[in-house]
Structure 1
Amino acid sequence: MNTASRPAAVRRPEDSVTIGADKPVSVRLLIDSNEAGGSSSTVEVTMARGADGATPHYHTLSDELFYVADGELQVWAGDKIVTVGAGGALVVPKFMPHAFGAAPDSPARIFIALMPGVERHGYFRFLERLALGQATPADIEQAQQDYDNHFLDIPQWWAERNANRA
C-alpha cells in the first residue's frame, strides 16, 4: 500500500478568509494550489440574485469545475449559456471561453475547483485591491499572466444576461 507523500489539505470554516463579504458577490478562499500539492485550487462564491460572478475569460493550465450548492447558476460555456441548478455541476475545459453569474431570479452559492491547481487566492486578493483603488487597470495584464485568467470580449454573454434581466 502506498502512503501519501503529503498531508491532507484542510480548511476549517473559522480559518477561511472571505473577500467581499458585504458585497453582492463574495469569495471564500478555501484551499489553494500550494496547500494541495498542486492538485487543485478551491473557492466558494456566493452571489446575490442575478449578480455577475466572472466576466468572460479562459484558462490555459486548468479545467474548472463548478458545483452549485444553492440557487441557480448561469455559465457561458464555449458559445452558449448553460443553466445549472442546486446539486448540479459543470466542468469547463481549459481554453474554453466562459463566464458565470447567478440566474436572474435566483441567488447562487457555488464551489469552484481549478484542476490542476494554480495559485488563485492571490488573484482574488488582486481583484479586491483593484476594487479598492490599490491596483490599477494597467495591472490587469500582468495579473492575467500571473494567475492564468485571460479576459475576452464576448458581447453575446452580456446581451443574453441583460436580456434575461429585463
Structure 2
Amino acid sequence: MTLVRAAQAEVLDSDPASVITLLLDPEHTDGALTSNRTLLKHGTDGAPPHLHTHSGELFFVLDGALEMLVGEELHTLHQGDMLFVPPSTPHAFAPAGSQDANFLVVITPGKPRFDYYRLLDKVHRGEATWQEVGETQDRYDNHYVDSPVWAGRGASTSAS
C-alpha cells in the first residue's frame, strides 16, 4: 500500500500558469502506474502534441474544462469527465475556453516520470532548456509529434 498525503506531495510551481503535484511514480506502485495532479490556468499553452509508445494515459477532470486532442479529434472535457488515451496515440491538452483545468493524470503501466516533470520545472526557472527536454523523449517515453489539427484549433472544438 502507498498513501500520499496532500501535504507531503511534491508541488512543481515554477510556472505559475501550470502547477504539477507529483503523486505516484512506478517506484511507489511496483511499476503499475505514474500519477500527478495538474492545474493549467486559462491562457497557458498546456502540453504540445505527443505520444507514449508503452503506456496509456487517463485524464479525469476535477474542475474546469480541458481541451484535448486525441488522434485527429478535438474534445472538450468538463468536471467529472474521464478520457483514456491508448498507447501510441497522439494527444495534447490545454485549458478550454476561458476556464482553468484541474485534472488527475494516471499513466499505466508506469514509467518513471517525476524527473521529467522536474526537468520541465527547471526550464521554467531558467535552469534547463527545451532542447534538453527534447533529448529525453526515449528515456521518459514522451515523444513529441506534429499535429495540424492541434495547431489549427479554434472556436470549432467539439464538445463530445
Asked if Structure 1 and Structure 2 have the same fold, meaning a TM-score greater than 0.5 normalized by the shorter chain, the answer is: yes
Cα deviation, residue 50, structure 1: 4.1
* Contact 1:21/1:27, CA 8 A, preserved across alignment: no
In structure 1, the partner of 2:82 is 89
In structure 1, the partner of 2:104 is 111
Cα deviation, residue 53, structure 1: 2.0
Which sits farther off after the overlay, 80-89 or 44-53?
44-53
CA shift digits 1:24-43 (9 cap, x unpaired): 11101011111111000000
1-structure distance, mates of 2:15, 2:150: 26
In structure 1, the partner of 2:35 is 42
2-structure distance, mates of 1:64, 1:140: 20
Which sits farther off after the overlay, 125-134 or 40-49?
125-134
**1:76 equivalent in alignment to 2:69:** yes
Which sits farther off after the overlay, 14-23 or 145-154?
14-23
Larger Rg: 1
Instruction: Show structure 1 runs of 4+ deviating over 6 A.
Output: none
In structure 1, the partner of 2:46 is 53
CA shift digits 1:8-49 (9 cap, x unpaired): 111101101111266111101011111111000000000112
Superposed CA RMSD: 1.6
In structure 1, the partner of 2:13 is 20
* Contact 1:51/1:107, CA 8 A, preserved across alignment: no
1-structure distance, mates of 2:105, 2:131: 27
Length, aligned pairs only = 156
CA shift digits 1:115-153 (9 cap, x unpaired): 111111111001112222322333234311111100012
Question: Does the C-alpha gap of structure 1 residues 22 and 50 become closer, same or farther in structure 2, counting only changes over 3 Å?
Answer: closer
TM-score normalised to structure 2 length: 0.91
SS of the residue corresponding to residue 164 of structure 1 reads coil
1-structure distance, mates of 2:155, 2:15: 25
2-structure distance, mates of 1:92, 1:54: 14
TM-score normalised to structure 1 length: 0.88
1-structure distance, mates of 2:15, 2:116: 19
Q: What fraction of aligned residue pairs are identical, expressed as a percent?
A: 33
